[in-house]
Amino acid sequence: LDHLRTWKLQSRYTLLNTTNKQLKQIYFNILSYLNIDMIHIRHLIMSTFDLPILAGKLSIPVILSFHDYYYICPSHNLVDDNKNYCGGICPPLYEDNTLGGQCNIIGELNIPQARSIVHWWRDEVSRMFENIQAFITTSHSAYKLYTKFYPQLEDNDFRIIEHGRDLQTPDSTKYVTPINNKGKIKILFPGHIGYTKGYELIKKIKEYDVDDRLEYHYLGSIGGHDDLEYIGVNHGVYKRSEFSDIVHKIKPHFIGIFSIWPETYCHTLTEGWASGIPILAVDIGAVGERIKKNGGGFLINNNPEEAYNKIIKISRNRRQYLKKASRIPNIKFKTTEQMGHDYLKVYMDYLNY
């Protein structure tokens, strides 16, 4: 890629301004000078809506991808001010809220409490959507949530294209460590473990573990949550190419994915299966959807006591555990080439729009 030019914006960004005169001029110059035929917007966070709206006026087709729920609420993973998943329905202000009344947003958006602007935001998004020819997301659960808040999308070209990964599951269950009803239950949590990824749930489940059956391992980042090291082993950050090798040295019974919000795909789920280990996950979003479709894992609720009891129950049924694990070699992932063909088909459909 060639770096053509850099522009310095004169104004401070705020999500409250969905248009910016300077940006609009920059976009117009780029679209005109380069004679752009089509635009695929991967995300508009930290940007205005000028690009799709201007493209609409210029009759340039626009494709918009959904990787989270930013267009439903600026709290892009729909986690509220008390660190709970809200599903896009704003709860009352908590008296003991932990985030000063603000939901889980990135600070650079520069907005008041998200619940005070969310209906205005959805009106703005709806108008912006009128300039989009095709929408893409990566799971049926994400599709359902978006069409719940924007029913008009059901009448649009809205496609589901899974992420492509050039990974394969092992051809056997040789990496599966048989579980028993008396020994340790080893759970490995990969990736960045913040509170949207289940930090509180991980801790609270362990509080019910009075017999010390659970053995936690973390592989990735626990930055800001160092107290997790008191109840588990931190193996530090890793390179994706080394993930499976490290997992096989730890020999966990489960890859734990405890996200409290409905992820739209989840790469760590793919990587966990590619390492040949059964998944233990909260039943929400694409993670729950993919495990129900493929097997190869167990689902728990976002309730610490119920989750702990289910984990112990699973450990008492060795046959069921191995049966779930036996599904993993049959799980297939979309390749990057297949994903590329899916995107190319979208582009070709609108190239002569």
pTM confidence score:
0.94
Is residue 10 in some structural domain? Answer: no
Is residue 170 in some structural domain? Answer: no
pLDDT by 10s per residue, the chain, length 353: 788 889 998 888 999 999 999 999 999 999 999 999 999 999 999 999 999 999 999 999 999 999 999 999 999 999 998 889 999 998 877 666 655 678 888 878 888 888 889 999 999 999 999 999 999 999 999 999 999 999 999 999 999 999 999 999 999 999 999 998 889 999 999 999 999 999 999 999 999 999 999 999 999 999 889 999 999 999 999 999 999 999 999 999 999 999 999 999 999 999 999 999 999 999 999 999 999 999 999 999 999 999 999 999 999 999 999 999 999 999 999 999 999 999 999 999 999 77
Please state the domain count of the chain.
2
CATH number reported for the structural domain that contains residue 160 in this entry: 3.40.50
* CA separation, residue 143 to residues 40, 120, 157, 251, 335 (Å): 18, 22, 12, 36, 21
**Radius of gyration in angstroms for the set of CA atoms belonging to the chain, rounded to a whole number:** 22
| Distance from chain centroid for Cα 227 | 24
> In terms of domains, do 124 and 190 share one?
no
Tell me which amino acid residue 97 is: N
Which secondary structure element, helix H or strand E, spans residue 312, and what is its range?
Answer: helix 304-315
Torsion sign, CA atoms 215, 218, 223, 229: positive
For residue 252, the enclosing domain spans 185-330
> In terms of domains, do 91 and 199 share one?
no
Is residue 9 in some structural domain? Answer: no
